[in-house]
A and B are shown apart, each in its own frame.
Chain A
Amino acid sequence: MTKKQTDPLERVAQEMKKCVKCGACRANCPAFGTFQREPATARGKVALAQHLVKGDITLDDGTYSAMSKCLLCGSCVDKCPNQVPTDEIVIAAREALAQRRGLTTFHKAVGQVIKNRKLMNFGALAAAVLGPVFFRKIPSTSGLRLRFPMPFLGGSRHVPQIAKKPFMKRHPEIIKGEPGKPTIVFFVGCMTNFVYTEIGEATLALFRHLGCTVIIPQGQQCCGLPGMSGGDLETVRELAEQNLAAIEKHEADYVMTACATCGGALHKLYPLVIGKRNPELKARLQAVADKTVDAAVLLQKLGLHPEETGTGQRMRVTYHDPCHHRTAGIAKQPRTLLTQTPGLELIEMDGADRCCGLGGTFNVYHYESSLDINAGKSKAIIDTGADAVVTGCPGCIMQLSDGLKQAGDKTRVLHTVELLARKIRR
């Protein structure tokens, strides 16, 4: 293997040395939980990465398969006695694989789509118009969101309906607030822009309620995390640069996300992964990372009075921690907001902080395993008897909805801001 092929791995070779192969990651890795084979564990992937650097195995199908069995959820890093950054090591291995073997057709397509907002806008329009013609609608009375099954993605998967008009097309770039109140750049994210526009509307309503100036930079793109899943770091870098430029154009106190995944990209992965590979961008990425904050955290910080929100109607909810929140230490803030909201009762589920099984493109490549991981999550949600499961990540919302649907359950899946904005938006 030539040096170039293992370059990304050599960048993290020192980190690999921290792994003593104790096996603690076996207890926490959702991928190991479903595959039950050692190459799926964090320590297994570290061992394989070490052998790749040594050059005694190659980036062949076996290695590709092992490295694909990771949701990048970061639970191994959280619970590792030596804090081995396996997520970073897997990202580097996937980059090396992409350099060596080229991107898969699927990931090539992902890269093309996420790099091209116009294409996304067009695709969304087409899907919104044609979707209902081709795909089955779930009656709105079922309490479920509108979905259509995607047979080409595997069996009976249900994915959400695309919005007729993307969130960003509905609003001007700058929505002026009251003088003296904070200015917030809203990083919208694809899922919110194209699918769950109600999350965007709720977020906007809440910050306008607080008198903030909200800026929705028109130049913003996808955060790029689907590309990172596939090792397409080139696309992620391009998107990071475009997002940087869009965000930096505005003077703002905060850069806010209502999507745990986008938050994870801006706050942690941009400086860590893209910054490491592109030193000239590092300081700029870090400056944006330092300003990046999750919507629920910011709402609490800015003193949202939950009594002013919610409808007061009694509702029992349970909260699912998205991985990108857990790794950023965001857990208490959304729960506090929910429990203070009149009418809401929070019931904790078993393993609230365990991954839902989405894991970026893991869900496409290993759909059965992704559902297997999700089955435990669905059971935990159903066992609480809650009326709704609440979370802070549109990606998790999609996965939780699919899982509950597969389980034949009617528990609603909502974003924290949707519940908080109910009264305000009425």
Chain B
Amino acid sequence: MLDARTLQQLTDIVGADNIATGAQDLICYGYDATQMEFLPDAVVHPESAEQVSRILQLANKENVPVFPRGAGSGFTGGALPKGGGVVLVTTRMNRILRIDTDNLVAEVEPGVVTETFQMAVEKLGLFYPPDPASLKFSTLGGNVAECAGGPRAVKYGVTKDFVMGLEVVLPTGAIIRTGGETVKGVVGYDLTKLLCGSEGTLGIITKIIFKLLPYPDSKKTMLTVFDSIDGAARAVSTIIKNKIIPTTLEFMDHATLTCVERRFNLGMPESARAVLLIEVDGDRDLIEKQAGQIHKLIEPLGLVQFRVAKDAAESEELWRVRRLVSPSLRDVNPDKFNEDIVVPRSKVPDVIRRIEVIQKRYDIPIVNFGHAGDGNIHVNIMIDKSVPGQLEKAHEAIKEVFQAALDLGGTMSGEHGVGLAKQPYIPLELNADQITAMKAIKAALDPNNILNPGKMLP
């Protein structure tokens, strides 16, 4: 619990309008997309790096945990105030400070909503490719802290590949800059990369310098249907082996198609066992040629349908199939664990087969879809928590799914992070030496363990 004096000091730092302690605010800043809930003691909305710095200094002095938070749309509980303390919301720092069209960089505050930033740069003919599914509401600070991914990662990479520099308030309150605006730079440790994906445990991001690209001329969307998951997976490797890197290679397995079809009746062919949504972008002539090449390359792999969008409206229609996945999943069961394992892309069919075995063994539905181009699969374990025993079964199944990904040379999280949800499974992936090294970094930067304590590392 915060004592009255600390609360007053916090109020002095951020102003009375930017602090809340009412039950309603505490409840509403105690959840995220994990369905877990922990109540903080206070919620603050700082407006500058200086305020963030003063909050952290006070937190160190009074030994109060601080939990940084953007839109609270995380899937692993990274921003949840477990154990109580202060939730620090960055959404009042939401200015796009500049977009430099000469050097193709932009500087933003962490509370800018991802799509708002994308639209602002696109107006200038520029491109910020990272596109997490939450882009309409998640914030850039949260994207950097969690190193968000998205469907375009296969060609363009993830958030960290676009972060050139940061302004960060370290857990002790020091304000530092990392990286910079130059393409090259090798002085000192690369703290920028260390902070990307650090899940708010090493510092609070107060400014971000992003790299931008020219906006691609045009794009082409193709919906391809296969009679087997192997065909779809082989299509992915065949396309890439033939030196075409699509922007997007999204896949849906048979269970996913069944869900979507049952709810929305899209008229998929009877023999459909897997769908690949392929998008290429770039020069108009080039993408026409690539679309033709792709068709020819994947034709022998059990292709049962190939649809190309003629225009933006048709493209949106093809994407609709993918967007309908989420709303149709709940028809299977009311509760879902959405895991985001990654395997080398050639191993996608192997991991799907292993998941099928796990599904049969535990007798709970598992639905797979995701980003086949980079091997990142969303494994959705669908249960009904009100049925006794299902929750325990789900946890066992999740553990086996992670093990399957690791056995195949993969990782247990591609874009959601560890937070609280995956913390128990960390020793499956990281050995004691790795964990010790990471803990040493945390201890060096946050000696009093006040910043987002209890997260990520066990």
Contacts and interface: CB of A to CB of B under 8 A. Distances in A.
Interface of A: 17-18, 20-27, 36-39, 41, 43-44, 47-48, 51, 57, 62-63, 65-66, 81-83
Contact of A39 (B24, B35, B72): B24
B307 interface: no
Contact of A57 (B20, B27, B136, B336): B27
Contacts of B72: 21, 23, 38
A37 B134 contact: no
B24 A82 contact: no
Contact of A23 (B22, B73, B326): B73
B71 interface: yes
Nearest to A17: B334
Interface of B: 20, 22-25, 27-29, 31-33, 35, 71-73, 91-92, 113, 115, 134, 136-138, 326-327, 330, 334, 336
A354 to B, nearest CB: 14
Nearest to B25: A39
Nearest to A57: B23
B136 A24 contact: yes
A22 B28 contact: no
Nearest to A81: B326
Where chain B touches its partner, the secondary structure class is loop
A36 B94 CA distance: 11
B136 A37 contact: no
B218 to A, nearest CB: 23
Nearest to B43: A38
A48 B330 CA distance: 23
Contacts of B136: 24, 27
Contacts of B20: 37
Contacts of A26: 71, 73, 137
A23 B137 contact: yes
23 contacts: A18-B334, A20-B336, A21-B35, A23-B32, A23-B33, A23-B71, A23-B73, A24-B134, A24-B137, A25-B137, A26-B73, A26-B137, A27-B115, A36-B92, A37-B28, A38-B72, A39-B27, A39-B28, A44-B28, A48-B24, A62-B25, A63-B24, A66-B28
A275 B312 CA distance: 42
A22 B33 contact: yes
Contacts of B134: 22-24
Given A20-B33, A24-B136, A81-B327, A47 B23 contact: no
Contact of A47 (B27, B33, B113): B27
Contact of B33 (A21, A44, A48): A21
A83 B115 CA distance: 22
Contacts of A41: 28
A38 B29 contact: yes
Given A17-B334, A38-B72, A57-B23, A47 B28 contact: yes
Given A27-B137, A36-B91, A57-B23, A20 B28 contact: no
Interface centre among A18, A26, A48, by most chain B C-beta atoms within 10 angstroms, is: A26
A65 to B, nearest CB: 8
Contacts, number: 74
Nearest to B328: A81
B123 to A, nearest CB: 13
A426 to B, nearest CB: 40
Interface centre among B28, B115, B137, B334, by most chain A C-beta atoms within 10 angstroms, is: B28
Contacts of A25: 137
B23 A62 contact: yes
Nearest 3 A-B pairs (CB), nearest first? A23-B73, A38-B28, A27-B136
A22 B31 contact: no
A21 B138 CA distance: 13
Contacts of A65: 24
A346 B24 CA distance: 44
A334 B345 CA distance: 49
Contacts of A66: 24, 28
Given A36-B91, A81-B326, A83-B327, A23 B27 contact: no
A44 B137 CA distance: 14
A57 B25 CA distance: 12
B327 A82 contact: yes
A166 B31 CA distance: 51
Contacts of A37: 20, 25, 28
A62 B22 contact: yes
B416 to A, nearest CB: 12
A325 to B, nearest CB: 22
Given A18-B330, A22-B33, A26-B71, A48 B138 contact: no
Contacts of A23: 32-33, 71-73, 134, 137-138
B396 to A, nearest CB: 22
A323 to B, nearest CB: 19
B330 A82 contact: yes
Contacts of B22: 62
Contacts of A20: 33, 35, 336
A25 B73 CA distance: 11
Contacts of B92: 36
Interface centre among B27, B29, B330, by most chain A C-beta atoms within 10 angstroms, is: B27
A18 to B, nearest CB: 7
Contacts of A44: 24, 27-28
Contacts of A38: 25, 28-29, 72
A46 to B, nearest CB: 10
Contacts of B91: 36
A82 B115 CA distance: 21
Given A24-B137, A25-B137, A38-B29, 10 more contacts: A20-B33, A21-B32, A23-B72, A23-B73, A23-B137, A26-B137, A39-B25, A48-B28, A62-B25, A66-B24
B24 A57 contact: yes
A44 B92 CA distance: 18
A26 B111 CA distance: 13
Contact of B27 (A18, A48, A81, A83): A48
Given A82-B327, A83-B327, A21 B31 contact: yes
B137 to A, nearest CB: 4
A61 to B, nearest CB: 9
B34 to A, nearest CB: 8
B327 A47 contact: no
Nearest to A45: B28
B340 to A, nearest CB: 15
A22 B330 contact: no
Contacts of B35: 20-21
